[in-house]
Structure 1
């Protein structure tokens, strides 16, 4: 059983990745997680997991700094960088820092399983991974996967607007229930939770990198109602946006 640690400042990503890891059916176990780099560094040094999945942008210590520390604290740990920023410069720096792999969010289950199978074969060459899905079943799901992928890209481009799941479903010629199910399978979370996670991540970036008022941050993160924005932010992050700014 390989041990896994997850470091990402988005709680929805951590939860989603945990679900995806379980769905692979492979012999891996999540032994810990953190929402900031400093906590992750300390726990990884103690746990010495076989695999670490880490985001790049995190408070306290970013993923590339964490990658360097892991090389010293737990040199046998394979580090997989996950990021929502498809920036080749990040990939280059991650590779120079001896990252095992670089995956762009949203994480596709097939990509995740491929990485895990490679690591399992390296660590436990005698252990045979589970067989892939039957070819017929895979073909049957190809159209669904294609629709989900397209929908995810459209959501990422338009999450600041009022996106309707039913409108998206109509656009791709499927029912809202079907698209909802496909998105949940692909993302490891519901459609609304995914939109929320994108918006709150945008809010955190604005708070961290600009001097905008909280009202302006709310509006530029897709929320016309400041009080509702504050409520959602606190539900996701555990603290209010104002307190989040003070703690930076």
Structure 2
């Protein structure tokens, strides 16, 4: 059983989480509850806790301060942040201090169960004790730059596949909107734009190589529809693939139809 500490100053939230965990998470038990960060630290000092679920906005020591203090003390247990606030700065700070995940209120049962199920993969058996928990930092705790770099590397290797930020969100355990904003902040580009650029640069390289037909190139980089590929390519380079190949500059509409 994983001993859980819930930290929230709202009674209904505490009771709601306790109910879901008791009913739908058989591997977890709510060992303690706290109304603010100071009470939570006191619980952690005297109780064997495996995971913390905490709100952000609370009187006294808030959730982010609690997370920071937990890390300052060297406690490596996973901390799940829940908040009614979707501001990017909150999520960024939470990830910076090593939060396992950041969920937005109102929570639903599926969110809670899914997140706690993932959390089990980063918690060591209770016999090892708190100090051995999370010796290997999971993807969900990677700093923003490292997280985005992992996504970039993955896209560079598999841009020909049907990729979406939602796929990475599910795989890495993050809110999709958070990942999208983080990716744009770190790269200066939206996720879809980045994938498109990787595809177009690959197409340009293949066109210069001259070994494949335009239709085959389109399929190689993930476009089953050649017309769609041609449209995107023209938006990216200013000319159609065939005219790019011939070095003739931009085609007019009549010539485009002639393709």
What TM-score bracket applies, with the shorter chain setting the length?
0.3 to 0.5
Which structure carries more relative contact order (alpha carbon 8 Å, separation 6+)? 1
Q: What TM-score do you get using the length of structure 2 for normalisation? A: 0.46
